[in-house]
Amino acid sequence: MNKPLHYDIRDVLWSPIRALSAKKILVMTIFLICSLAIYNFFSYISFWLDNDKIDSIFKVYNFFPFFKAHFADLFAQTVFILGVFCSIITLMLGLFAVSALEIETIRGNRFMSYSQAIAFALKRLKQIVLAELAIICFIGFIILLFALLGLVSRIPYIGEWIYTVLFVLPNFVIAVLTIFILAVLHVSVILLPSVTAAEQKGEAFQSILETFSTVIRQPFRWSGYTILTTVSAKIASFVYAYICFRAVEFITWSTAITGGNDLSNLVKSSLTLLPVRSDLARETFNIFPGIDFGIQLAGVSKYISHDAVAYLMACMLFIIFSSIIGYFLTTIAVAQTRTYAVIRFLKDSYKIEDENPLHQTLPELTATE
């Protein structure tokens, strides 16, 4: 039996430990890599449509072209934005899958497999997409209304008077509410997957309602728990990154006893194929941004090797690197799930742990496995 929740901060503090699960990290890492692959696909199509030299960009940035977000060609810009949206949705599916695993543990089912979590995430893809699109479309509708007001303001003599009279009521009030909705849209990237994982009926409107309800009714508790768990997630991921680095060093050192320095040189040259000098790599192996305490990968890398085995080794090292960020995101997902469980009880007196596990409420999901 799983320990019952306390429905306070104690349920959230242990999130880094509860996230330290091979099953959860594997699921999050798979979706993280898929998210990057989708981003790369749409990004390079956008570069091609914008008449950029793909080969030159690939030589410099490889699979990490994060340097450009604005394109001269409108169609290229549209493709890029679509790619970013699909990439974020894929990342949210990973957060959802981890949240589903944690929700099932809270309900007393510890035996949900990683394949079932992935299948459940894909099953709820429509719900997450519709929920995000609904919020985006509402914001777009408000922008359209203000754009129409701009056209009205161009009417001779009375246009500017109409614009001025309506500036405070209702325009300013609507603008403030829209800014709040825009903030919730950003928050929904990490919160909505947990809310959706706890919702058994698969209704997009219910996910939106609970997301807004969580932020509106318990803003300080949600913010405090999120800040606290983000800090703890960064510390935990730094420790995990250090262990991964030392593990790679140990493999390299022990195999070099009989295999020679060629194996060590292979690992070091493969690091050069990865963006070890990027801000992302530096902050991943640094305890906190702005604090110079961590591992300098740039000093470990060696000369560039374009051998096929070096590229394969770079892929292996990239998977390990991705698992570090995957563990960080897993901790965030677990923390958001447990935070939502606490807030749901405090605002609605509803205990998620009293619900039936998925294999009882959704037998068709288990039947497909």
Q: Check whether 321 has a pLDDT greater than 70.
A: yes
pLDDT score at 47? 86
Torsion of CA 37, 42, 43, 47, to 10 degrees: 140
Identify the weakest region by mean pLDDT among 19-33, 55-69, 130-144, 199-213: 55-69
Report helix angle 125-152 to 204-217, nearest 10: 70
- Per-residue pLDDT, averaged over 269-290, amounts to 80
pLDDT score recorded for residue 273: 78
The whole-number average pLDDT for the span 341-351 is: 91
**Taking all residues of the chain, what is their mean pLDDT, rounded to a whole number?**
88
Residue 360: the pLDDT is 62
pLDDT at 183 over 50: yes
Helix, strand and coil percent figures for the chain, each rounded to 5: 75, 0, 20
What is the C-alpha to C-alpha distance for residues 125 and 129, in angstroms, rounded to an integer? 6
For 223, 236, 284, the CA distances from 328, given in Å and listed in that order, are: 18, 8, 10
Give residues with Cβ within 8 angstroms of 146, minimum separation 6. 171, 175
* pLDDT tier, 367 (very low <50, low <70, confident <90, very high otherwise): very low
> Which token pair is 41?
């696909």
Rounded-to-integer distance, Cα 100 and Cα 2, Å: 15
Model confidence pLDDT, tens digit, residues 68-97: 778 888 898 999 999 999 999 999 999 999
The angle formed by the CA atoms of residues 75, 79 and 82, to the nearest 5 degrees, is 135
Least confident of 53-67, 120-134, 159-173: 53-67
Instruction: List 291's β-bridge partners, or say none.
Output: 288
Report whether pLDDT(231) > 60.
Answer: yes
Q: DSSP per residue over 147-214, as a string? A: HHHHHHTTSTTTHHHHHHHTIIIIIIHHHHHHHHHHHHHHHHHHHHHHHHHH-SS--HHHHHHHHHHH
Is the per-residue pLDDT at 303 higher than 70?
no
Main-chain dihedrals φ then ψ at residue 202, nearest 5 degrees: 75, 35
Confidence (pTM): 0.90
Alpha helices per DSSP H over 349-368: 358-361, 363-367
Q: Tell me the percentage of the chain whose pLDDT exceeds 90.
A: 55
Amino acid 298: pLDDT:
67
Phi and psi dihedrals of 113, rounded to 5?
A: -80, 165
Higher pLDDT, 265 or 151: 151
Q: What is the pLDDT of residue 363?
A: 58
- The pLDDT-based confidence of 212 (bands split at 50, 70, 90) is very high
Residue 1: its pLDDT value, please? 47
pLDDT score of 366: 55
In this structure, are residues 353 and 3 in contact, taking their beta carbons and an 8 Å threshold? no
pLDDT tens column, 12-22: 999 999 999 99
Please provide the distance, in angstroms rounded to a whole number, between the alpha carbons at the two ends of the chain. Answer: 24
Task: Sketch the domain layout of the chain as residue ranges.
Answer: 10-367
- Largest separation between any pair of C-alpha atoms in the chain: 88
**What is the pLDDT at residue 234?**
94
**Three-state SS at 64:** coil
Contact in structure between 196 and 131 (CB atoms under 8 Å): yes
Please tell me whether the peptide bond between 219 and the residue prior to it is cis, using omega within 30 degrees of 0.
Answer: no
Q: What is the 3-state secondary structure (H, E, C) of 240-281?
A: HHHHHHHHHHHHHHHHHHHHCHHHHHHHHHHHHCCCCCCHHH
* Model confidence at 54: pLDDT above 50: yes
> What would the two tokens of residue 297 be?
């990968």
Q: Quote the pLDDT of residue 223.
A: 95
What pLDDT score does 368 carry?
45
Cβ neighbours for 80, distance < 8 A, ≥ 6 positions apart: 42, 43, 46, 69, 71
Residue 144: band (very low, low, confident or very high) from pLDDT cuts 50, 70, 90: very high
Q: Which DSSP category does 239 fall into?
A: H
Mean pLDDT of 32-39: 94
Quick one: which of 10, 28, 31, 6 has its CA closest to 19?
28
Q: Please count the other Cβ atoms lying within 10 Å of the Cβ belonging to residue 157.
A: 6
- What pLDDT was estimated at residue 357? 83
Q: Is the pLDDT of residue 268 over 70?
A: yes
DSSP state of 293: E
3-state DSSP call for residue 137?
helix
The alpha carbon of residue 42 and the mean position of all alpha carbons in its chain are separated, in whole angstroms, by: 18
Q: What is the pLDDT of residue 369?
A: 42
